[in-house]
């Protein structure tokens, strides 16, 4: 691993191999919560978001009893949330899921569409609880032994939750569309001389829908690819450059700088990062890496900067004794030529 490889982030698994022995339990926990923050809309409100926020604020060393208490609270809440998701989906597809009864001959041509709409409605309801279950499992992983396995499991499950939600939403949309098309063909069939033509139209719509649905199936490895892509960005944020010496003078750690850094971390007010850069400049900071990171202008950046709790610059200010900063790879000294 060299600096070019590190900053390009094309091999995130190798990046993690390179630094995982330098990550403290706190940093592992914050890497996990960063993944959940990335998909925050998937984390149910209430106790589940409270659990994430609790662990962010107590990432150093939460008591074992806390983990047991939180797991119990999450377990109690999950059944209600799953049922709520199912109930909401049933309401959405209610019109498409109506039981089929004996229909007049004028609506018979639309029957294939109504049947297919009901099938997709049933599929949507069966999928409705899965995104919640996966998101909750991702939160529960936060209270396991911190490390690579727990973190990547958290990341994988929250990405799987995103895929599950997309599949459910697609099933809902398809059910409602087929029901609407069925109504249209049923109306058209009333005055049609040859109802077989309308029936053929309905059957063709169903055939194309199923064919397109098969072609649009979300790939199984989509979630895994998303995890890998995000991993590189989070390592840039939480670790910085492990090949540097993390140079930071004590004189830069002024009262103003420390106060700003603490406020940003506690409030998650990352929009104040440029203000922290200004304060460091006032303290005569001349570290290009530090200032560029705070302003989001790193030379290597190809995407908009992200900031999370555990940012290496904030930790360099607030936790100067973190093992990360004492184990950076030092540049090799040049050998003197023999005279």
Q: Sorting pLDDT into bands at 50, 70 and 90, what band is 330?
A: very low
* Percentage of the chain lying above the pLDDT 90 cut: 58
Tell me how long the chain is.
339
Contact present, 43 and 323 (Cβ < 8 Å)? no
pLDDT of residue 101: 46
Contact present, 279 and 256 (Cβ < 8 Å)? yes
Residue 249 has pLDDT above 70, yes or no: yes
Phi first, then psi, for residue 109 (nearest 5°) are: -60, -25
In this structure, how many other beta carbons lie within 10 angstroms of the beta carbon of residue 5?
A: 14
Tokens of 123: 């599929």
Q: Average pLDDT of 132-149?
A: 93
Q: Sorting pLDDT into bands at 50, 70 and 90, what band is 102?
A: very low
pLDDT of residue 215: 56
The CA-CA-CA angle for residues 287, 291, 294, to 5°, reads 145
- Specify the residue for token string 């063709």: 204
Residue 173 has pLDDT above 90, yes or no: yes
Residue 117 has pLDDT above 60, yes or no: yes
pLDDT of residue 301: 65
Residue 103 has pLDDT above 60, yes or no: no
Q: H helices within the chain, ranges in order?
A: 3-8, 12-19, 25-38, 47-57, 64-92, 111-127, 130-140, 148-190, 195-215, 222-239, 255-267, 273-282, 288-295, 312-318, 323-326
- Specify the residue for token string 């059910």: 175
Residue 99 has pLDDT above 80, yes or no: no
Residue 333, exposed/middle/buried by CB under 10 A (0-12, 13-18, 19+)?
Answer: exposed
- Specify the residue for token string 């989001």: 296
Residue 237 has pLDDT above 80, yes or no: yes
Contact present, 111 and 103 (Cβ < 8 Å)? yes
Q: Sorting pLDDT into bands at 50, 70 and 90, what band is 333?
A: very low
pTM of the model: 0.84
d(CA 37, CA 29): 12
What is the per-residue pLDDT across 179-213, written as a single tens digit (0 to 9) for each? Answer: 999 988 888 877 777 778 888 888 999 999 988 87
Q: Average pLDDT of 248-269?
A: 95
Q: Average pLDDT of 18-40?
A: 93
Residue 220 has pLDDT above 70, yes or no: no
Contact present, 59 and 309 (Cβ < 8 Å)? yes
Of the listed ranges 61-65, 114-118, 188-192, 215-219, the least confidently predicted one is 215-219
């Amino acid at each position: 691993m060299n600096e070019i490889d590190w900053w390009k982030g094309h091999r995130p698994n190798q990046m993690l191999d390179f630094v995982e022995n330098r990550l403290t339990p706190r940093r592992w926990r914050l890497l996990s919560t960063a993944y959940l923050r990335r998909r925050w809309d998937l984390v149910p409100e209430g106790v589940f978001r409270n659990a994430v926020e609790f662990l962010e604020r107590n990432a150093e060393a939460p008591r074992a009893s806390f983990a047991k208490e939180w797991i119990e609270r999450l377990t109690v809440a999950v059944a209600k949330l799953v049922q709520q998701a199912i109930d909401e989906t049933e309401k959405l597809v209610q019109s498409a899921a109506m039981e089929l009864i004996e229909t007049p001959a004028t609506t018979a041509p639309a029957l294939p569409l109504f049947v297919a709409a009901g099938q997709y409605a049933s599929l949507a309801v069966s999928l409705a609880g899965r995104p919640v279950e996966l998101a909750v499992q991702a939160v529960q992983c936060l209270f396991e032994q911190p490390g690579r396995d727990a973190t990547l499991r958290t990341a994988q499950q929250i990405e799987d939750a995103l895929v599950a939600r997309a599949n459910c939403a697609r099933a809902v949309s398809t059910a409602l569309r087929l029901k609407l098309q069925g109504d249209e063909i049923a109306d058209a069939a009333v005055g049609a001389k040859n109802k077989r033509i309308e029936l053929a139209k309905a059957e063709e719509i169903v055939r194309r829908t199923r064919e397109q649905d098969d072609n649009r199936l979300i790939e199984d490895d989509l979630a895994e690819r998303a995890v890998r892509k995000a991993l590189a960005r989070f390592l840039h944020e939480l670790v910085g450059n492990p090949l540097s010496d993390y140079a930071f003078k004590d004189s830069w750690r002024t009262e103003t700088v420390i106060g700003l850094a603490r406020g940003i971390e506690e409030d998650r007010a990352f929009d104040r990062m440029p203000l922290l850069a200004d304060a460091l400049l006032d303290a005569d900071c001349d570290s290009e890496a530090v200032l560029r990171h705070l302003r989001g202008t790193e030379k290597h950046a190809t995407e908009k900067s992200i900031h999370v709790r555990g940012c290496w610059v904030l930790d360099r200010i607030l936790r100067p004794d973190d093992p990360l900063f004492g184990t950076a790879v030092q540049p090799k000294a040049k050998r003197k030529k023999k005279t």
